[in-house]
Amino acid sequence: MAQEILRSHFAHLYPITTRWHDNDVYGHVNNVVYYSFFDTSANRFLIEECGLRIETSPVIAYVVASQCEYYSPVAYPGNIEVGFRVKKLGNRSVSYEFGVFSQKEQACALGAFTHVFVERESGRSVSIPEEIKSQLLKAIVPIV
Amino acid sequence: MAQEILRSHFAHLYPITTRWHDNDVYGHVNNVVYYSFFDTSANRFLIEECGLRIETSPVIAYVVASQCEYYSPVAYPGNIEVGFRVKKLGNRSVSYEFGVFSQKEQACALGAFTHVFVERESGRSVSIPEEIKSQLLKAIVPIV
Amino acid sequence: MAQEILRSHFAHLYPITTRWHDNDVYGHVNNVVYYSFFDTSANRFLIEECGLRIETSPVIAYVVASQCEYYSPVAYPGNIEVGFRVKKLGNRSVSYEFGVFSQKEQACALGAFTHVFVERESGRSVSIPEEIKSQLLKAIVPIV
Amino acid sequence: MAQEILRSHFAHLYPITTRWHDNDVYGHVNNVVYYSFFDTSANRFLIEECGLRIETSPVIAYVVASQCEYYSPVAYPGNIEVGFRVKKLGNRSVSYEFGVFSQKEQACALGAFTHVFVERESGRSVSIPEEIKSQLLKAIVPIV
């Protein structure tokens, strides 16, 4: 872990309850499950702040790349918070960054993924709609 | 739905946050996921109220039967509460009942499963330890 | 386990590969995951034999009740086969039965669920389309 | 996709059956699920080729970093193969690379993760055991 990653580095904090079967056979939340935390947090932002309607919006977002570094384990039944911020905003895509926080001040994991916006019908890449873009802009957190 | 199922019929209410991928292709929380709500709630009771230590307790509990009736859909990003009560307490096994509550007063689903207590090492069925049994007794809710 | 449940009692056998995180902290496939085996098998039948198109069919099927009895554990990396048969065919709903088979002749688990057919748009219950019903009929296996 | 990624670039190909609920609300295998394909494939290699015993081996492997690029969607009910190769072998850690193949010759996704070997009891980082290391060496595929 090269640097300190704190809750204050993120634009939003989303609480997530862990589940019995998030833990794998080694007793910690499985590495795969962290990506569901990221997916859940970014889409919650898109739904709550940007007006995305999962069922009907003509423009939706697909994940084209994702990554995660795991620093210290978390485990059910402990609950977590996921920090969310926009890392890089392009014309047709956006990259988010996520911090997974358990009880400690420091993040347990740092993740990221990139959303490309597409027409639901055609799957073709399109510009990020203005009302979404303006909200994404507000979630950029300058790292001091 | 033959009868009214309300939050007040349960001994404990456990909040659970839904996740993006709880929804399946039809836009609602997939029927499978409800069982993870039950698993998570019963084990939370065993951990918090009965002292179960997932990693080290010499006696653990295995699921031998489960069931669920689905009345109305729930969907991410809506959050839920899971009602938990002990339905039937035997010498070596216990059956729980679970209500899934979204915004409405009425349950969206009613589930149940049966735990058999076993020695972790041998997998052999054993009597429910006394300290667990006494707590399970308190979670029996007489349906008036 | 009251009776013998064998592969020959089912109309179709669907192979399913287990996954690392199907196992839970106790080292076996988690009870929840069995329902994903059932869901996967029944929908595969509907897609392959009955022409269901997940994305576009105007009539789709919702799960209204499900259950499972667990007889003996299965675990990653062992693979399984899921036996599928129609147990009860009504006008608007169908109940399936599923056997989970690992290496032994006897089933490790016996599950069931009920599909109600609905209009995708309205969610209203409808009669099972004829082309689906005729295929479901063929998957009824008389238990001798 | 900068370069061609083919089945022949990998040391092993592991077939994986997709599941109904691998698809998310947009109709494709959810981005999170790909990581379960990677986890399943790497651990299968460790179990089958390197003698890892999930329940008892004194040295186990934890994931410390993972990533994936998604090129084209896959969806239930189509099945997949996961290509597995060792990308970088250190003294205490190993990085794997994974290709996800559907019907086409080209990979649909390219993933990677890094395993650090630890003592099960203490969680302390240790050298990769010799019998595992010698097998990992064989799974290095020189990219021509």
Mark yes or no for CB contact C43/D77 under 8 Å.
yes
Tell whether A1 is within 8 A of chain D (Cβ). no
User: Considering only alpha carbons, which residue of chain D is nearest residue A71?
Assistant: D64
What is the structure's pLDDT at B65? Answer: 98
What stretch of H or E contains D116? strand D109-119
Closest CA to D16 of C13, C40, C31: C40
User: Considering only alpha carbons, which residue of chain B is nearest residue D55?
Assistant: B121
Tell whether D18 is within 8 A of chain B (Cβ). no
Residues B123, B115 contacting (CB under 8 angstroms): no
pLDDT in tens, B115-134: 999 999 999 999 999 999 99
Mark yes or no for CB contact D26/A62 under 8 Å.
yes
pLDDT in tens, C60-93: 999 999 999 999 999 999 989 999 999 999 999 9
Mark yes or no for CB contact C70/B64 under 8 Å.
yes
What is the Cα–Cα distance from C66 to A124, expressed in whole angstroms? Answer: 39
Residue A88, min C-alpha distance to chain D (Å): 17
What are the DSSP calls for C37-89, one per residue? HHHHHHHHHHHHHH---TTT-SEEEEEEEEEEEE-S---TTS-EEEEEEEEEE
pLDDT in tens, C26-58: 999 999 999 999 999 999 999 999 999 998 999
Residue A27 has its nearest CB partner, among C21, C25, C32, at C25
What is the structure's pLDDT at D95? Answer: 98
Residue B142, min C-alpha distance to chain A (Å): 27
Expressed in angstroms, the distance from the first to the final Cα of chain B is 18
pTM above the 0.90 mark?
yes
Tell whether C40 is within 8 A of chain B (Cβ). no
Mark yes or no for CB contact A24/C23 under 8 Å.
yes
Mark yes or no for CB contact B43/A55 under 8 Å.
no
Crossing angle of helices C31-50/B31-50, nearest 10°? Answer: 180
pLDDT in tens, A65-115: 999 999 999 999 998 999 999 999 999 999 999 999 999 999 999 999 999
3-state secondary structure of D34: helix
What is the structure's pLDDT at A27? Answer: 93
Contacts with B36 from chain C: Cβ below 8 Å: 32
Tell whether D32 is within 8 A of chain B (Cβ). yes
Exposure string for D105-143, b = 16+ CB within 10 A, e = fewer: eebbbbbbbbbbbbeeeeeeeeebeeebbebbeebebee
What does the mean pLDDT of chain B come to? Answer: 95
What is the structure's pLDDT at C142? Answer: 77
Mark yes or no for CB contact C24/A27 under 8 Å.
no
* A1 pLDDT more than 80: no
What is the structure's pLDDT at A111? Answer: 98
Residue D44 has its nearest CB partner, among C37, C39, C77, at C77
Mark yes or no for CB contact C20/A24 under 8 Å.
yes
Tell me which chains share at least 3 CB pairs under 8 Å with chain C. A, B, D
What is the Cα–Cα distance from A111 to A5, expressed in whole angstroms? Answer: 11
Residue D22, min C-alpha distance to chain B (Å): 8
Q: Dihedral (C-alpha) D29, D32, D34, D36: value to the nearest 10 degrees? A: -120
Tell me which chains share at least 3 CB pairs under 8 Å with chain B. A, C, D
Tell whether C65 is within 8 A of chain B (Cβ). yes
**Which of A18, A24, A28, A56 is the best substitution to test chain C (most C C-beta atoms within 10 A)?**
A24
| Cβ-proximal residues to A118 (8 Å cutoff; 6+ apart), any chain | A59, A60, A61, A62, A124, A125, A126
Average pLDDT of the segment spanning D103-113: 97
Task: Go through chain C and tell me how many residues it has.
Answer: 144
Residue B137, min C-alpha distance to chain C (Å): 24
Take residue C138 and report the two structure tokens written for it.
């063929």
Mark yes or no for CB contact B44/A16 under 8 Å.
no
Crossing angle of helices A31-50/A130-138, nearest 10°? Answer: 120
Backbone angles phi and psi of D8, in degrees to 5: -70, -10
Could you give the C-alpha distances from A130 to A126, C25, D20, in angstroms and in order? Answer: 12, 46, 35
What is the structure's pLDDT at C106? Answer: 96
Range 83-112 of C in CB contact (< 8 A) with B:
none
| Cβ-proximal residues to B28 (8 Å cutoff; 6+ apart), any chain | B73, B74, B75
What is the structure's pLDDT at B142? Answer: 77
Average pLDDT of the segment spanning B93-108: 97
Tell me which chains share at least 3 CB pairs under 8 Å with chain D. A, B, C
Q: Please give the share of chain D, as a percent, with pLDDT higher than 90.
A: 92
Average pLDDT of the segment spanning D54-60: 93
Residue C69, min C-alpha distance to chain B (Å): 4
Average pLDDT of the segment spanning D44-70: 96
Contacts with B32 from chain D: Cβ below 8 Å: 21
pLDDT in tens, B32-85: 999 999 999 999 999 999 999 998 999 999 999 999 999 999 999 998 999 999
Take residue B89 and report the two structure tokens written for it.
């307490």
Residue D63, min C-alpha distance to chain C (Å): 13
What is the structure's pLDDT at A142? Answer: 77
| Cβ-proximal residues to A104 (8 Å cutoff; 6+ apart), any chain | A72
Mark yes or no for CB contact C21/A27 under 8 Å.
no
DSSP state of C6: B
* B1 pLDDT more than 60: no
Residue A143, min C-alpha distance to chain D (Å): 22
If one compares A3 and C120, the residue with the highest pLDDT of the two is C120
Q: Please give the share of chain C, as a percent, with pLDDT higher than 70.
A: 97
